[in-house]
Amino acid sequence: MNVGVEKEAGAASGAVDGRPALLELRDLHVFYGAIEALKGVSLTVGEGEVVALLGANGAGKSTTLKAASGMLAPRSGEVLLRGERVDGIKSHELVQFGIGHVPEGRRVFARMTVLENLKMGAYRLKRPDDADLDRVFSLFPVLAERRKQVSGTLSGGEQQMLAIGRALMGKPELLLLDEPSMGLAPLIVRQIFEILKEINEQGTTLLLVEQNAAQALRLAHRGYVLETGAVVMSDEASALLSDPRVRAAYLGEVAEQAEEKG
């Protein structure tokens, strides 16, 4: 499925938990003008994993994701996909390597219908794969119902589903998700995370940026915590969930915690 990426023998690619690394970021430095947004971020995503990237607003989560998907060029550092350097490759070309990006704020093509959006997602293929379409429609039955509807008139949750479905149409091996829970009701968030779990179980690796730390860590295998542009913590998701520092900083008030458990 991966187009044109050959695994170099002896290429240094760290393995995680016995899984070969799919994506590896090494010492990334990204600048917005004079502001250093990422101050040496390193992380690894193993094949088949779900990795959550947590942090407060402005910690550099989205920037990390954009650097990984080629939307931003890092000033220094390396982005490795299956051990091969891909930093500096433009985002539309990275799509060819099996990276699907669900951008922040959904960004569906508001004036196209649901079906047109999904077909657009398969742009890198010569023609949309009907099997992929069926898969998206079985994951998100509501999209099948609304396939003729103009996507700008969908609800926020449906638009998020469409954005994920659109990315899936490009047959990604690695799906980068930027805040899929943004501005959505808790019930819809739970629904979307269940579907994300299903997508992962079907074999797609996920790298997830989230504000909703509790929800993200429950889905993820591992997590990284970013603070002002650097990784300050990384561990198994369950360990992070019970870490008192994480609980205090990102899982918020006790009340919310109780609600999440209940």
Binding site for other proteins (CB under 8 A): 69, 71, 90-93, 95-96, 101-103, 105-112, 119-121, 123-124, 150-154, 159, 166-167, 170
Q: How far is the CB of 240 from other proteins (least distance, A)?
A: 29
Q: How far is the CB of 233 from other proteins (least distance, A)?
A: 29
Q: How far is the CB of 12 from other proteins (least distance, A)?
A: 29
Q: Half-sphere exposure (CA, 13 Å, Cβ side) for 224?
A: 22
Minimum CB distance to other proteins smaller for 31 or for 109 = 109
Q: How far is the CB of 129 from other proteins (least distance, A)?
A: 14
Minimum CB distance to other proteins smaller for 55 or for 170 = 170
Give the C-alpha separation, 23 to 85, whole Å.
10
Q: How far is the CB of 154 from other proteins (least distance, A)?
A: 8
Helix (H, G, I), strand (E, B) or coil at 162: helix
Minimum CB distance to other proteins smaller for 19 or for 119 = 119
- The phi, psi pair for 118, rounded to 5°, reads -65, -40
Residue at token pair 């220094």: 76
Minimum CB distance to other proteins smaller for 103 or for 229 = 103
Specify whether the CB–CB gap between 131 and 168 falls below 8 A.
no
Give the C-alpha separation, 209 to 59, whole Å.
11
55: left (phi over 0), alpha (psi -120 to 50) or beta: left
Give the C-alpha separation, 184 to 174, whole Å.
24
Residue at token pair 């019970």: 242
Minimum CB distance to other proteins smaller for 153 or for 242 = 153
